[in-house]
Structure 1
Amino acid sequence: MINYPCIFKLYGDDELIYLSSKDDLSSEFESLICHEEDYLIDSTGQAFKVQQDNKDEFSFVKIGTPVSTQTLTELIQAHEFSKQKCA
């Protein structure tokens, strides 16, 4: 079970997508093509792999142990730095 809010980490990109609710998640995933290395981190730090079936429906599978505070901080720093490079 995903605890909101959460963030979505795109493979090969420093961008993070903030999702405040299940509705936000559904809305974002309507137009998203997922890579097998994309993952979601919920408010408890638990990571989930995204699985897409043939009908464009998504499910989430818990992976590993929760993401450490240090790792999460590094992801956020990289995200913020990438926003500055674009400005």
Structure 2
Amino acid sequence: MANIKSAKKRILVNQTKAARNKAIKSKVKTAVKKVDVAVIENNKEAASAALKNAIVEISKAKSKGVYHKNTCSRKISRLSKAVAAIN
């Protein structure tokens, strides 16, 4: 454990930020899973609705600095391509 006051504060701040990032990543993963499930079931309407929600969650993660912008673009692109491929 740290002895210096500023080091103790950094530990607390880092824990807070890590918890926030973890929650945001969890929301993104859940949204992506919902799209994947809808795609597997060939449910175009549910997939489209889930895709809109996933794009919002991914964009929020990007704006908060949890994911790099290229990572978010890649995730959105792959999900969009999967939804578009449903017959």
Identify the TM-score tier after normalising by the shorter chain: 0.3 to 0.5
TM, length-normalised to structure 1:
0.35
More helix by share: 2
Q: Which has the larger radius of gyration?
A: 2
More strand by share: 1
Bigger relative CO (Cα 8 Å, ≥ 6 apart): 2
